[in-house]
Chain A
């Protein structure tokens, strides 16, 4: 009895152990997988005539880029932070425009049968056009790289936002509409108290797809328009045969894309007041 008592851990230790076990269960698998892939990569690219560098080689080559993300030698010779910031600025502008216009159009298409009939076929065709196909046209229209890139982001992100918002608005339960009618809510009140919250889960699905597509499109667009930006950084690195720089930039692009997605999901949770599941 006494021996058993002595062996039983205090409760806080048990909780700590459980937490640690849980954390290990979540963190260990991806870390192990990453390690495994790293080793495989190392082995596969170790031969002297390998076209791609090994991970250790990448780290050695990009050491300076990693440790000094903020340097600025003028022109496009800047640290990766500045390149990413320039890309993020373009995405932010194009995406916010797309979010505003997309939700507005989606509400229109979702609430009016005629707007839906007139616009939906158009949207269904336009949304299949690849982002980069818009670039030459927008360059012709704007005669400048910066607004053209922003337009490409806008036109890429807007379709999922429009379509999801429209579906969300169309799916507002009749019950809520009845409540609004009994209370005689006017258009504005209906929009803010019923339509937006009821359609929020759909709208945020569209917004999340939109931010993902924007980030996909910006890299490609920047490769063509040049200037400061992570896309052109990659293209420039390729032209200078700095393969390790490309790999580092890709890792950064992936991580930033991941955080952008999380950011929109978080905003949805905050604004959706419990109706948006993440």
Chain B
């Protein structure tokens, strides 16, 4: 397999002495170029920590992350993050939020006109051109997340990191945005690492689903390959045996093999 993003033996412990807690234990994972990978697990299992380690926002206690053959230590625009709470800067307009990223990443390589074009292109991709003069406070939660995605895409990242991107949205908006992300993925062929706790979302969007065991010391439990052709249609899939099997496999893992520690 063409390993584009390589996660090797990642361990993470927080604190020292009495308050020491092991969050991740020996996580290794290979992601191919253009692959859409979902990481699913119960709340608090450390999946966001894993994403932050790949992003470089959190340092791993041991282990390595390689992207396109190079080890990564620090955050950078080649691993653009779409944060769960969008993290747009409220004092900048929608356009300026995306433009800030474009200016920073392409400042030396593109002219101002090209950067303007590129900003608009990414806003079009997420259908946010109509609100580009508005501030984040003036648009809905779903729109904010679209802008967050536009900002991440605008960095032309090697891998797109989505941290429960639709978790805070209502079901209809979420479904709508999932469609958008599928379209964008089909068009641009991005490599995507997505954290989610939504089984349907994981099955619908991804090529492989990584299921994590419960913390403390979470590990990779199972990896399920979703053998569904693209483009995928939410409604048609409902009766698809592969879809049902994939859903069942993930649910089975989450509810039987990896029950809540408290509930056990």
- Is B57 interfacial (CB-CB < 8 Å)? yes
Looking at chain B's contact residues, is the secondary structure mostly helix, strand, loop, or mixed?
loop
Once A182-B75, A182-B76, A182-B77 are accepted as A-B contacts, the answer to whether A189 and B104 lie under 8 Å apart by CB is: yes
Chain A CB count within 10 A is highest, among B76, B77, B91, B100, for: B91
Which A176-205 residues have C-beta < 8 A from chain B? 176, 178-179, 181-185, 189, 193-194, 197-198, 200
Q: Kindly state the separation between the CA atoms of A178 and B137 in the bound complex, as whole angstroms.
A: 20
Q: Kindly state the separation between the CA atoms of A272 and B90 in the bound complex, as whole angstroms.
A: 11
Residues of the A chain whose Cβ atoms lie less than 8 Å from the Cβ of B260: none
Once A178-B57, A183-B104, A184-B75 are accepted as A-B contacts, the answer to whether A194 and B89 lie under 8 Å apart by CB is: yes
Q: Is the CB of A182 within 8 A of B80?
A: yes
Q: Is the CB of A193 within 8 A of B100?
A: yes
Q: Is the CB of B101 within 8 A of A183?
A: yes
Once A182-B55, A184-B75 are accepted as A-B contacts, the answer to whether A274 and B104 lie under 8 Å apart by CB is: no
Chain B residue with Cβ nearest A177? B57
Chain A residue with Cβ nearest B100? A193
Looking at chain A's contact residues, is the secondary structure mostly helix, strand, loop, or mixed?
helix
Residues of the B chain whose Cβ atoms lie less than 8 Å from the Cβ of A200: 91
Once A183-B100, A185-B104, A197-B89 are accepted as A-B contacts, the answer to whether A178 and B83 lie under 8 Å apart by CB is: yes
Nearest 3 Cβ contacts at the A-B interface: A175-B87, A197-B91, A181-B75
Q: List 30 A-B contacts (CB under 8 A).
A: A175-B83, A176-B87, A178-B75, A179-B83, A179-B89, A181-B74, A182-B55, A182-B57, A182-B76, A182-B77, A182-B79, A182-B80, A182-B155, A183-B77, A183-B101, A183-B155, A184-B75, A184-B76, A184-B77, A185-B104, A189-B104, A193-B100, A197-B89, A197-B91, A272-B91, A273-B91, A274-B91, A274-B135, A274-B137, A275-B90
Task: List chain B positions with a Cβ less than 8 A from chain A.
Answer: 55-57, 74-77, 79-81, 83, 85, 87, 89-92, 100-101, 104-105, 135, 137, 155
